[in-house]
Amino acid sequence: MTLKESDSGLKIGEPAPDFELENFEGQEVELSDLDNFDGVLVVFMCNHCPYVKAQTDEIRKLAEEFSSIAFVGINPNSETHPEDSPSKMEGFVSEYDLERPNFFYLVDGDQEVAESYGAKCTPDPFLLDWRHRLYYKGRLNDKTSPEDHVEDLEMKNVIERMLKRKDVPGKSRPSQGCSIKWKE
C-alpha cells in the first residue's frame, strides 16, 4: 500500500466533467441525473483501501445529514484489483451501511472519469455545487491514517457553507489514501 496525496488539476469554479457510469447492478447514472440535488459529493473510492474503509462512517453520516446532496462513490479500480470488482461493490455498500437514496456507487472501468477529474488516490473527494461546478476539493476530515481519531469535520463544514451559498473556503487540505491502481 502506497500513501498518495491528492492535488487535482480541476480548478474551483470549473464545470465538473460529465460522466455516465453504471452501478454494480448495471443501472446507468449520469451527472445530469443528479440535477435535483443541491450539490454532489463525488468520492473516488474502492472496496479494498484501508483509508476508504476508515472513512465510510464519515461518508454515511454525511449522506444521512445532508439528504439534499448526492453522494457518488466512483470505483476506478474495478478491473485491477479483484476485491474491487463490481460484483463485490454491493457487499461493500451493505457491509458499511451506505444504502441510502442519495448514495450511488459507480464503476469507472475505463478510468476515464477518474482521469478527467484528476483523482489521485482513494478516497479523493470533489464537492460540486448545484450547477455541478467544483466548489471544493479536499479531504473529508482530518483523519490521515485509518487509526486516527477525527477532530475536524472538514467536509461537513464545507457542505454547510456551500448550502448557505457562501464563498468557497480559501484553504483546502488534500486527501490522502492509496493510489488509484491505473491500468497499464
Instruction: Express each pLDDT in 63-85 by its tens digit.
Output: 999 999 999 999 999 677 889 99
| CA 121 to chain centroid | 10
Predicted pLDDT of residue 80:
72
In contact, 141 and 133? CB cutoff 8 Å = no
Strands (E) across 24-133 are located at 28-30, 39-44, 69-75, 103-107, 121-122, 124-128
In three-state secondary structure terms, 154 is helix
Task: Band the pLDDT of 1: cuts 50, 70, 90.
Answer: very low
Burial of 145: CB neighbours in 10 Å, binned 0-12, 13-18, 19+: exposed
Q: If you average pLDDT over residues 141-165, what whole number do you get?
A: 89
Residues 6+ apart with CB under 8 A from 158: 127, 135, 136, 138, 169
Stretch 146-151: mean pLDDT: 82
Nearest to 51 by CA among 97, 6, 7, 114: 6
CATH superfamily placement of domain 3-179:
Glutaredoxin (3.40.30.10)
Q: Where are the beta strands (DSSP E) in 108-184?
A: 121-122, 124-128, 134-137, 176-179
pTM of the full structure? 0.93
pLDDT one-digit tens code per residue, 106-142: 999 999 999 999 999 999 999 999 999 999 999 999 8
> Three-state DSSP class for 107?
strand
Q: Is 163 helix (H, G, I), strand (E, B) or coil?
A: helix
% of the chain residues with pLDDT over 90: 74
